[in-house]
Amino acid sequence: MVDPDAPNPSNPTMREYLHWLVTDIPGTTDAGYGREAVCYESPRPAAGIHRVVFVLFRQMARGSVDVAPLLRHNFCTRNFAVAHGLGAPVDAAFFTCQREGGTGGRRLVIRPPRTTTPPAPRPS
């Protein structure tokens, strides 16, 4: 899982930023059964709208990806695939994300409780 827009889509000097790398995923299951080579790090864009890309490769044998990247920034999916004999991607998907408003992170909005008055009695 990489961010090709890090740290800023206008100037992606850390392109591609590696957020997650899982290897040895059995073909009949999901990523939870693979080997996490680089632990998950949540995207936290500083500016702009970022694309976060998942790329799936077919490994010819378990353990063929035996060395995890040393750095997360300036990772190159294409070079990694070539170095480990992964060939062309089998599938890919992406989503976009951006920084939330304010000074960063989620905002906690505390509102005063509503005061309700009981309804007035209805005339008979």
- Cβ neighbors of 106 (< 8 A, separation 6 or more) are 100
Among candidates 12, 13, 78, 14, which has minimal Cα distance to 41?
14
pLDDT of residue 61: 82
Instruction: Record the pTM.
Output: 0.75
pLDDT of residue 56: 95
Question: Is the pLDDT score of 70 beyond 80?
Answer: yes
Question: Is the pLDDT score of 12 beyond 80?
Answer: yes
pLDDT band at 104 (very low <50, low <70, confident <90, very high): very low
Between the alpha carbon of residue 82 and those of residues 29, 57, 71, 88, 95, the distances in Å are 25, 11, 18, 9, 25
pLDDT tens for residues 38-64?
A: 999 999 998 999 999 999 999 888 888
pLDDT tens for residues 23-36?
A: 998 888 777 788 99
Q: What is the mean pLDDT of residues 94-98?
A: 94
Higher-scoring residue by pLDDT: 19, 34: 19
Q: What is the mean pLDDT of the chain?
A: 86
